[in-house]
């Protein structure tokens, strides 16, 4: 081994504190980058593979009742590659020992072979067969939430009749990745998908030789709007509710939304991290090497060429980066597997193939190495351009001047220590600034990572406390007369009941078309309120249409404009209706009307499709038992449960993700503060030791150095608080999806977490540096020149 | 002769350098008296710096005792030694060790912030003849001026003991003499017990007593019946 290499390893060892903290910054950034992007890629691939291999359709239509014979006509529509019809129904589900009503989505499939489109992946057990016992496959989410498995029995109400189902397997379907009722939060505890014999299902719902659900695979280049129109024209006479593409398919919409969230969190955040780490590496390594000026000069004096010296320091950087990246790969592998594990539970893909992607490792290592080399080369260049004799001398004594605040006049009251600190900061504004920027970046990253939690809480608060104040929603199989609503209101435990009418509609204004639901609310609706941006309740106009703000934006309409409504139910009326106002909606894009106006528009007397209720918890079980016995009731969804499930899954994923990133950001803070302090200490050890000799105590001397650090950290925190808000806004904007808007709400708690984490990192670094100050060589200083 | 203020008995300092033990001081006995001017002479490695460091409370002996009046320096802990340096000792270093970010006045004032009974900083600077340059930063001063600031900084707290480690080592002859004049004045007019380390035997003529150190022992002691004035010295 050459002597220079020996020196290299000893230098690495003697600078282990700095090497370790810099290495950890690289490791965190690399780990976050490859783990997170790897997770996102794995999810993308998993979804693509699932959709592809299991032939997920791209067009869907629900109809009231269409004869099987219609399928041949449908298949002849140009652009249709394949299609399959079946029967789908919702029903109440009864599980022993579960008082609350559960909802089953019953999907008819051919026994023995299963569906041809939207094929099933059987995780456990086997495909259903026909026989005396009605067999079923159940979706994985519901099965694991309710601890069901092959051999267990469940009871469903088939059009009002109790029917026992025997579970023979656990299935996954691309059509129900995230089973959810009408696009609300997925609630795997309260909502399950059951695949059963299609003939038995059709018989029960009086759909023999008919279907009510059609899935179509379109040719890749076929025009979707045209296909939708032709399918609509074909199915309209049979109660077609409007064909729609994947974009409007409930499961795909939720999956896309979650993946979009993961895309922003999982790609933008870690990429920012790598850049921040690279920036720090550049600054910190440059400064560390600058402190070795005399050694570099001595090597040159001994006859080593610039090339050898440059090689030496580049090797130094390369080793630090390689160690960091090595640890980063391990962190990334763990992080990625952990996150994919969480998402596998959430998404129910057959497989999520996480792997360490060499390209990602290459990018992270390349950026870090480049930044490190850049910093090192710049520092070395400044030394080697001097003659060895000149370089071996210490740099010229630093020139100081009075700090800005002192130049305003004689300011006797500023303590000497503070003057020293201020002048030191001012003499090297760039350096102090860079340290502050590093700290600020850490603060900002913590805020941007943590604020999701605040945003989610805010959304939940607005949606579930201010707008939707019901405890449960009871929906009917078919629209019912208003009197049924009154009957529900008289059930035990119902404190308040408000019936509403929901109709599937197409809204159109000029070329803008949107498929959604139109909700008819009572004039005195209290359980479902429309809010303005200030969360003030809006009155329902007697006539006209209220639109979700983003829907109005999407349709390009303002209050006073008119919108064409096409009802996708009943007589499929077309009407132009005036927009009366806009509603501030965080989660949905819907239309609202007075229920009587809507009934008039539909040409109905006074029909309702669901009832919002407020519950008295003490009579809850009694109510549930009564509801289960009402045949007209299709589903009961309990808000609290879907909320809880949302918090357990989606929100938990965000929380885990952001916690890990907070930890990574803390390592950045440590890396900046510790290295900044070590370099300052190296430069000023002589001065500080002199002060110790003069009789200043360890604590007093520490103040001189750590005070400077404290100011840098404080400036960084202030900048970071501002920057964090900007970054959060930027991320929220990127995550903005059609159905979902992330409000930029940052709770004081988030700022506190960011500040405390950074302060703790700073304090930890300060403590380590403080120990070094305690060990300053007082004797040596008398003999040495600076 | 006055009362002995610094008393060392059997003062020994061993340094372990790898597998070799270096005896920097070998059982030195020494009394230094109040207001006395002592010069320690000796070649490199003779132990003079080690002795000064222990007397100044910067280092502790391996064996033996060193007492400042009733303070036992050999048994003092870190904070007691800090206290001792702060309250009793003024240091002057070869390389001045001024704080570059503070002006002349502030460098001196810095010490007054932790001293018990300091003189006004301006007065200390007047003592060394630097009243005109109070607002300059160290980088704007010559070496001799910087060393005089260091002396002002050392005496501003009215120390009882002034320890100077090669105070003229980095200075030319002319400037060195100005610095020595300042030290001699402090000793004569303030009655500060003064110990100066030097390579330069000529400086010994200024002292009451010259101690020659060699191999960690006091090899020879010389007393000057009359002390030379710095202006009389040449080297």
Residues sharing a CB contact under 8 Å with residue A522, sequence separation 6 or more, in sequence order: A498, A499, A500, A540, A594, A595
Q: What is the ipTM of this complex?
A: 0.84
Q: What mean pLDDT is reported for chain A?
A: 86
Q: State the Cα–Cα distance between residues A196 and A165, nearest whole angstrom.
A: 8
- What pLDDT is recorded for position A614? 93
Residue from the list B102, B115, B170 with its beta carbon closest to the beta carbon of A416: B102
Residue A738 is predicted with a pLDDT of: 66
Judge whether B120 and B150 are in contact, CB under 8 Å.
no
Q: Give tens-digit pLDDT for A649-699.
A: 667 777 787 788 788 888 888 888 888 888 888 888 888 888 888 888 888
pLDDT at A59 over 90: yes
pLDDT in tens, A78-110: 999 999 999 999 888 889 888 888 889 999 999
pLDDT tens-place string over residues A606-658: 899 999 999 998 988 888 888 888 878 877 888 887 788 777 766 777 778 77
Closest approach of B234 to chain A, Cα-based (Å): 24
Tell me if A331 sits within 8 A of A31, measured CB to CB: yes
CB contact under 8 A, B82 and A424: no
What's the pLDDT at A786?
47
For chain A, say whether B112 makes contact (Cβ under 8 Å): no
pLDDT at residue B74 is higher than 60: yes
Q: Which two tokens stand for residue A220?
A: 């890749």
Judge: B79–A401 Cβ closer than 8 Å, yes or no: no
Instruction: Assess contact for A572 and A238: CB atoms under 8 A.
Output: no
Taking an 8 Å cut-off on Cβ atoms, the answer to whether A687 and B99 are in contact is yes
- Which pair of tokens denotes residue A757? 């984490």
Instruction: Name the token pair of A201.
Output: 């299902």
Q: Are B168 and B179 in contact (CB under 8 A)?
A: yes
CA distance A348 to A97: 26
- The yes-or-no verdict on residue A230 having pLDDT over 90 is yes
The reported pLDDT for the residue numbered A1 is 60
CB–CB of A696 and B78 under 8 A?
A: no
* pLDDT of residue A306 exceeding 90: no
Q: What pLDDT is attached to residue A736?
A: 73
Helix axes A306-347, A269-290, angle to 10 degrees: 160
Q: Is B95 on the interface with A (CB under 8 A)?
A: yes
CA distance B58 to chain A (A): 6
Per residue in A450-466, pLDDT (tens digit) is 888 888 888 888 888 88
DSSP symbol at B231:
G
Q: Chain A contacts of B79, Cβ < 8 Å?
A: 697
Q: Are A186 and A649 in contact (CB under 8 A)?
A: yes
> What integer pLDDT is reported at residue A61 of this predicted model?
94
A-chain CB neighbours of B83 within 8 Å are 695
Using pLDDT thresholds of 50, 70 and 90, give the confidence band for residue A423.
Answer: confident
């Amino acid at each position: 081994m050459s002597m220079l290499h020996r020196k290299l390893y000893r230098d690495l060892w003697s600078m282990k504190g700095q090497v370790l903290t810099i290495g950890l910054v690289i490791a965190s950034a690399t780990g976050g980058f490859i783990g997170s992007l790897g997770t996102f890629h794995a999810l993308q691939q998993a979804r693509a593979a699932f959709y592809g291999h299991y032939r997920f359709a791209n067009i869907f239509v629900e109809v009231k009742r269409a004869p099987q014979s219609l399928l041949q006509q449908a298949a002849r529509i140009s652009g249709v590659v394949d299609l399959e019809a079946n029967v789908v129904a919702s029903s109440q589900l009864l599980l022993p020992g579960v008082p609350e009503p559960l909802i089953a989505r019953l999907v008819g499939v051919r026994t023995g072979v299963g569906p041809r489109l939207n094929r099933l992946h059987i995780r456990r057990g086997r495909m259903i067969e026909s026989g005396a016992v009605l067999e079923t496959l159940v979706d994985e989410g519901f099965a694991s939430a309710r601890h069901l498995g092959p051999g267990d029995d469940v009871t469903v109400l088939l059009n009002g009749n109790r029917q026992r189902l025997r579970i023979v397997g656990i299935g996954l379907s691309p059509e129900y990745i995230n089973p959810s009722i009408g696009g609300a939060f997925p609630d795997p505890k309260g909502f399950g998908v059951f695949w059963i014999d299609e003939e038995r299902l059709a018989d029960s719902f009086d759909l023999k030789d008919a279907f009510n659900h059609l899935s179509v695979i379109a040719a890749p280049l076929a025009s979707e709007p045209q296909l939708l129109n032709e399918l609509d024209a074909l199915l309209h006479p049979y109660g077609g509710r409007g064909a729609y593409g994947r974009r409007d398919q409930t499961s795909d919409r939720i999956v896309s939304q979650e993946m979009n969230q993961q895309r922003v969190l999982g790609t933008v955040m870690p990429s920012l991290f790598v850049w921040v780490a690279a920036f720090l590496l550049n600054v910190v390594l440059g400064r560390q090497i600058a402190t070795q000026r005399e050694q570099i000069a001595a090597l040159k004096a001994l006859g080593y060429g610039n090339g050898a010296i440059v090689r030496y320091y580049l090797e130094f950087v390369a080793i630090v980066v390689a160690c960091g990246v090595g640890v980063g790969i391990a962190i990334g592998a763990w992080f990625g597997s952990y996150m994919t594990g969480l998402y596998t539970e959430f998404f129910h893909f057959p497989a999520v193939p996480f792997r360490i992607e060499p390209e990602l490792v290459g990018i992270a290592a390349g950026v870090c190495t480049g930044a490190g080399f850049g910093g090192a080369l710049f520092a070395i260049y400044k030394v080697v351009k001097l003659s060895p004799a000149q370089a071996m001398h210490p740099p010229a004594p630093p020139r100081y001047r009075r700090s800005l605040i002192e130049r305003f006049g004689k300011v006797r009251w500023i303590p000497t220590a503070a003057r020293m600190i201020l002048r030191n900061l001012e003499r090297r504004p760039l350096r102090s600034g860079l340290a502050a920027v590093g700290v600020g970046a850490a603060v900002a990253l913590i805020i941007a990572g943590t604020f999701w939690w605040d945003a989610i809480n805010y959304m939940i608060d607005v949606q579930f406390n201010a707008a939707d104040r019901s405890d449960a929603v009871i929906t009917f199989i078919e629209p019912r007369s208003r009197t049924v609503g009154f009957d529900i209101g008289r059930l035990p435990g119902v404190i308040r009941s408000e019936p509403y009418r929901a109709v599937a509609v197409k809204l159109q204004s000029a070329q803008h078309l949107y498929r959604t639901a139109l909700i008819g609310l009572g004039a005195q609706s209290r359980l479902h309120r429309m809010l303005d941006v200030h969360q003030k309740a809006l009155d329902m106009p007697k006539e006209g249409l209220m639109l979700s703000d983003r829907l109005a934006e999407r349709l390009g309409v303002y209050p006073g404009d008119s919108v064409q409504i096409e009802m996708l139910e009943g007589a499929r009326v077309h009407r132009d209706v005036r927009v009366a106002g806009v509603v501030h909606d965080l989660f949905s894009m819907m239309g609202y009307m007075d229920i009587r106006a809507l009934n008039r528009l539909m040409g109905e007397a006074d029909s309702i499709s669901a009832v919002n209720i407020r519950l008295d918890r003490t009579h809850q079980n009694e109510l549930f038992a009564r509801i289960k016995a009402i045949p007209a009731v299709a589903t009961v969804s309990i808000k609290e449960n879907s909320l809880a499930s949302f918090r357990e899954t989606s929100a938990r994923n965000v929380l885990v993700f952001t916690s890990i990133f907070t930890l990574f950001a803390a390592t950045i803070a440590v890396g900046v503060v510790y290295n900044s302090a070590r370099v300052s200490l190296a430069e000023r050890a002589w001065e500080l030791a002199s002060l110790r000799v003069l009789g200043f105590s360890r604590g007093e001397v520490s103040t001189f150095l750590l005070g400077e650090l404290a100011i840098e950290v404080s400036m960084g925190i202030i900048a970071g608080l501002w920057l964090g808000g900007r970054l959060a806004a930027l991320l929220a904007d990127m995550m903005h999806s059609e159905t979902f808007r992330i409000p930029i709400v940052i709770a004081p708690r988030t700022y506190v977490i960011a500040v405390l984490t950074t302060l703790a990192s700073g304090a930890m670094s300060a403590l380590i540096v403080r120990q070094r100050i305690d060990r300053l060589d007082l004797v040596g200083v008398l003999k040495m020149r600076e | 002769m006055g009362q002995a203020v610094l008393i060392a008995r059997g003062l020994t300092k061993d340094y372990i350098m790898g597998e070799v033990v270096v005896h920097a001081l070998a059982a030195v006995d020494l009394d230094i008296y109040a207001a006395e001017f002592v010069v320690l002479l000796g070649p490199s490695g003779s132990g003079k710096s080690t002795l000064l460091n222990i007397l100044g409370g910067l280092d502790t002996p391996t064996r033996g005792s060193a007492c400042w009046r009733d303070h036992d320096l050999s048994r003092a802990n870190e904070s007691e030694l800090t206290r001792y340096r702060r309250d009793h000792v003024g240091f002057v270093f070869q390389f001045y060790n001024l704080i570059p970010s503070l002006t002349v006045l502030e460098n001196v004032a810095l010490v007054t912030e932790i001293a018990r009974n300091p003189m006004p900083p301006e007065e200390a600077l007047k003592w060394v003849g630097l009243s005109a340059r109070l607002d300059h930063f160290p980088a704007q001063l010559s070496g001799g001026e910087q060393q005089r600031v260091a002396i002002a900084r050392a005496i501003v707290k009215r120390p009882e003991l002034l320890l100077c480690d090669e105070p003229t080592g980095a200075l030319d002859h002319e400037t060195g003499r100005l610095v020595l004049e300042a030290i001699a004045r402090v000793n004569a007019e303030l009655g500060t017990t003064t110990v100066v380390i030097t390579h330069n035997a000529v400086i010994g003529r200024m002292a009451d007593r010259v101690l020659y150190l060699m191999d960690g022992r006091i090899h020879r002691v010389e007393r000057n019946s009359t002390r030379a004035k710095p202006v009389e010295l040449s080297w």
